[in-house]
Amino acid sequence: MDFDLSETQRLFQATTERFASTVDVATRLSIRSLDGSYDKSRWQELTELGLLSIGASTEFDGLDGSLTDLSVIAETLGLNNALDPWLENGAFPVRLGNIATDDALLKAILDGSQLVSVAFAEQNNRYELFPGNTIITTRDDGSGYYLNGEKHFVLTAALADILLVTAQFNGEFGIYSVAANSDGVDTHYYRLADGSQAAALTFKQVELSIDTRLSIDFEQFQDVIAEINVLCCSEILGLSQLLLNETISYVKEREQFGTTIGSFQSIQHGLVDCYSALEQMRSLLFRTLLLEDKSGEKWRANVMGAKAFIGENAHLIAHKAVQYHGAMGITDEVSIGHAMKRIMMLSRLFGDVANNLKHYARST
């Protein structure tokens, strides 16, 4: 079977690498110190390069890229230790907009005029995707809705213009488009392990018009989550390759007892274990991408199983990288510290290893 990238995919890869490789550790720290932990001008550049359009349908002036095409971009971002929230604020809302066939939403995202955050997580609801305490009620005059409730872990919310909020309406699942600056939206910001910023949001009688509900049901939402989990795996794979590459280079230079530490047999064995784990991760990702039916409970279970394996082995590689670098490996002064922390965040997005294995076992 041919696993080589197509000419188009190589173009996506090269474009992504040119964009992401311009940020070194010092620049990364500088950008993370900004309000919102990100430079929004980079987001505009990212959209102009078409890195968001790839995931959108041609019906909405997108490139109608496949999940494999998006996976190439995600892995390349990981390999370059990118700090751009392409996955969480780009691919995620674009895929939702695709299914909902929301032309206005997609055009706002694709031209870079609006940054969109998806508010799906709730306190005390663990990794459950169905909203528990975020409720939609109808206004007395029937002209719209009121939104009440709380959301946590809303990624890059400080820079968001639009919030896509999951909520219940008469017990049914829905996603509602809410202007981030709406009256009644209270926000508390906090930093995540990877240096990015998230927010806890409280909605108090936020007025919404009738047309704010996206045309997407809970099954479709879960399928999109599975797609984004695949992209998480792809970025984790790129980050893990970066960690291995950086560690191999380091042990070839670091000297102890008059010789490079890369000559020590125990370190060589550890790096071989990392290489073996990385190749198994890559094979499982390919297997997941090659599944024909990318919807339904079986598809979602396969994705959760793959993510559990990939996340667990990525942590093995990250811990070995930190061990061989020594104490500086966990700092923000070297790239592996940033890569390890991004893996920590992505491997737990939508569900940690235990949660994913539970769902996988239940469906197999």
Give the amino acid at 125. Answer: N
pLDDT for 196 equals: 92
Per-residue pLDDT of the chain (364 residues; tens, 9 = 90+): 667 888 999 999 999 999 999 899 999 999 999 988 999 999 999 999 999 999 998 888 889 999 999 999 999 999 999 999 999 999 999 999 999 988 889 999 998 889 999 999 998 888 999 999 999 999 888 788 999 999 999 999 999 999 999 999 999 999 999 999 999 999 999 999 899 999 999 999 999 998 899 999 999 999 999 999 999 999 999 999 999 999 999 989 887 888 888 788 899 999 999 999 999 999 999 999 999 888 889 999 999 999 999 999 999 999 999 999 888 888 888 899 999 999 999 999 999 888 888 888 887 6
User: What's the rounded Cα separation, in Å, for the pair 201 and 211?
Assistant: 22
Q: What is the pTM of this model?
A: 0.94
Question: What pLDDT sits at residue 261?
Answer: 82
Task: Return d(Cα 187, Cα 347) in angstroms, integer.
Answer: 25
State the DSSP string of 67-111: HHHHHHHHHHHHHTT----HIIIIIHHHHHHHHHT-HHHHHHHHT
Instruction: Give the H or E element holding residue 236.
Output: helix 218-253
Sign of the CA dihedral with 153 first, then 155, 157, and 161 last: negative
Contact 92, 118 (CB under 8 A): yes
Q: What is the pLDDT of residue 119?
A: 96
Q: Which residue has the tokens 């409280």?
A: 202
Q: What's the CA gap between 116 and 104, in Å, rounded?
A: 13
**Domains along the chain with CATH numbers:** 7-114 (1.10.540.10), 118-212 (2.40.110.10), 218-362 (1.20.140.10)
Q: Cβ distance 322 to 333 under 8 Å? A: no
